[in-house]
Structure 1
Amino acid sequence: MSPSSLHVRQGLHPLLSYPQNTCSLFSAFCTEENVEQCVMYLNQEMTTLGFPPLYDELKYKDGRQELNVISVMNCMNELLQLHHKNLQAREDAELQNLKQSSDMEYLQTSNSRLKDQLETSKREFAALQERDRQLQCKSKNLHQLLKNEKDEVQKLQNIIASRATQYNHDLKRKEREYNKLKERLHQLVMDKKDKRITIDILNYVGRADGKRGGWRTGKTDAKNEEEMYKALLGDYEQRQKELILENAELKKVLQQMKKEMMSILTPQKCNQKGKDGSGTVNGETAANLVNQVILSDNEEDAGDFSRESISELSCATAREQLTNSIRQQWRMLKNHVEKLDSQVSLVQVGALKHKDMVSREDHEQEMEELKEEIDQCKEMIKTQQQLLQQQLMIPCDDDTAMLLRDCYLLEDKERLQDEWKLFSEQRKNFEKERKSFTEAAIRLGHERKAFEEDRAAWLKQQFLNMTVLYDHRASEYGKLQTAFSGSPDQDNQKLHPRQPQKKPHCGCEAGVSRCASKYLPDTLAELCRSMSLIPDDSPSGSMPKRRSTPDSKAWSGSEFMSFK
């Protein structure tokens, strides 16, 4: 029972017991003795309330006004109606009060709920503001890092440009100095009779005993000239032996380097030819490979011819041929590696396109098959409808009709179940294929990103190695002037030796040289050690040291930078 109905019953309960109370009240109010007084009192009250009087003014009985029964009944009827109206209004007011109280409770609960929601939304808004602030800080930090990286890249580019210009200027200056020294040596060797090597004493210091020196005669002059010529010949022979040993070492290094380069290039060409046979590389790559093979054969012939002619040519021409052949080989290796990278990227892109095309063709084929199956199903449905109409037109028993209908329904149900299973399997296969394609695309993107990061790190490491090795070569290049004993600069250096300069980046150079010798192959590391590009402080360095020459230094710097 609802609380509103209970409240209404409680309000009606005193009204139902109202007649008993009125009877007791009337019995106490009116008695046989005061009937007339009560009637007069009631008449006055009714007239004051606007009801008609209870006495008839025209009729008198025994000198008194006679009581009008009709007016009394009408007044009682009106009073009863008013009483009923008041009761009805009271019930309506109570119901309205109950409704308002229930509405008030509902509004209070909704208000509390909305307050809770407001608090939760405020907390969420504060959390979102904090997260937005953190993201803004993170984005600012990332922008700052990007700006710093751009500045660093710009600085590195400026350093590269400045060092390149400085290297070119130093190279030209050293070439001019080398030509001057070469011309002077030629003059000293060829013009011995015309120009004798003498030492002019500016400030002569006398002997300690006060005696003067002996007279210069023909015998003493001849003896001094013979000793000078013997010393010059001994120096020239020693230098020739060192140059012969150095040339032999260079020949060995060059042959070993060429063999390794050919061994590196040959299997790659074979693999490329095999790929051409399998159909994964197009005709352009095959033509490039044929051209590379022809160029390598021509270079082998040229290298053999150069090795045969090195012994017959002079030192300068032999050095030029060596540097030119090594430059060509390094350029060929660099171009070949770049072509291989481009071919690998093209093969990957072609494979992805081929996979995508195959998947689209399969999808279109499946769509055509499904359309054909739908057409077949429509035709079967039409035939079944025609058969059903024919059977309905033919009169038959109820049992046979029910059996036929059940058979048809079972067949249709089984057929629909089979078709639904086939459709679900096809959908699962399609979802699996799509998932595998997406995973492959994501994996390819990650692999490409990792490859780019490794490539950037490798280029950065090679750039750092190149800069440190260049500084190391520049520091060692000052030893070139000691190779020529007949120059006056050498005499001045012997008389006034320079103080050795401190190198603050020596430890860094040694560490980078160790890293370079660690990551380079054994033969390349030995080649760099033989050319004094890497110091022989590593345990694996067993190559003998050689005398540094300007051409060898120039070749090692330029070609090593071009290869990097």
Structure 2
Amino acid sequence: MTKTVFLPSKIIPELFVPQLFLFFFCVCVSQALPLEHTKNYIKVSLIISPTEDMSTIYCYSTMPPSRQYSHSTMPLLPVSPYSGPSDFCTENNISECMLYISQELSSLGLPSIFYDLNGIRELDVTSALNGMYDLLQLQRRTMGMVEELEVEQLKVSSDLHCQQLSSSKLKDQLELSKKENIRLRERERQLEINVKSLQSCLKNEKEEVQKLQNIIASRATQYNHDMKRKEREFNKLKERLNQLLADRKDKKQGMDVLNYVGRSDGRRSQWKTVKTDARHESEMYKTLLNEFDKHQKELMLENAELRKVLQQMKREMVGILSPKKHSQKEEKCTEFTDQVSFFDENIHIRKSVFNEESSEMSCEHAREKLTNSIRQQWRKLKHHVENLDNKASMVQLGREVGEEMISKDVHQDEMERLKVEIQQCKDFIQTQQQLLQQQLNTPCDEETAAVLNDCYMLEEKERLKEEWKTFEEQRKNFEMERRSFTEAAIRLGHERKMFEEDRATWLKHQFLNMTFTEHMAIKTQNALSDCK
């Protein structure tokens, strides 16, 4: 805050300069604040104009912004001089103002500017100057304190700003650390889940390995027991064979009873008498008949199984050799069915021959004859299938060649047509050249020549565009045909591969069936040998 007092020199001509100085000092002091407001400071400036008409005295009382804004941390604003007149002291209240200033000085602890001289108050210049000096010193001290406080306040504000920045940075770091912690916890949880799943898998694998080890150990022990049992049986059979060979050398020629039939009730045999011998013979015949019936039933079952196998073979062969397009390959199917029927007829003939000659020939000879006939029929059927396969491949190749030939014929026709078109174009170009030559030879205007040239060029461009379009269409057609040919070749290769795989599986199946029939033939041979 700034207070300015303006007094012209004509109003108080009787005052001396020191008295004026003291007066304005007192005026300034009267506007000052008490001592406890140490942040306030006073700046007094005395200006005396050297002009004759007026002496101008300015007194500035300046207050810092800390006084005006007690709760603000704003820096000091620049002091601007106040040029307006003050209302504190006027011409009519000079004595009252001086008295007021004296009271204010006494309240501040400074000596009064008046002294009593015979009961009259007079202005004491010395005390006024001393008071003024004390006020100046007080103002300087307060200004220094204010500057220190302002510097301290600036430091505190800068520290506070730094602390706020560091706090914001720490908050950001805290947020980032929290997010990172959450991410790490989630990853740890996922890893724990993976570890648990892997542990469960490991446990299951260990259990499976333990089970397999137990199974292997049990099978090993069982195998060892079986081997020991087989060895014991083999040793027993070997000892019995040696014993029988030794007994046969010692005995004379005679009948040996094989497969001794014991009693059904498990009792011991009685003394040999006529009745017991007859009874034993009847029991022996009964058991032999029962065994023969049982063996005959087994042979019938084996024959039924063989028939089923033959029927299954026939169905499988028909299913394998049956074409996908019946309308195109009916002749092959009829030939194959004829062969199969021929095969069945031969089998029935062989069976009838076997039934007729079984009474005259031995069982072994009949078995060999039957197996040889089956093998011969199988070889015939195999050769027939190979012939059909070769025929089918030849027919397919013939069709491919026919298609290729058709495509080549079409290609040749197209080439001929293109050659004719090219010849026509050449003729047309030649005629145009002749016409142009004639026009050049004949005199004509330049404008008409330019128009004619433009017309010919436009026609030539249009014709070339049309030819280019036709050429592009032909090229696209050729590309489509080439793609179709390649796709057909690829499809044919896949079909050939599938056919070869089916043929291999069929041959494998037939080989396994042949081994099964051979095994059944061995069983029948053993059964016939047992019958002997």
Q: TM-score range by the shorter chain?
A: 0.3 to 0.5
Q: Which has the higher helix share?
A: 1
TM-score, L = length of structure 1:
0.37
Q: Which has the higher contact order (CA 8 A, sep 6+)?
A: 1
TM-score, L = length of structure 2:
0.39
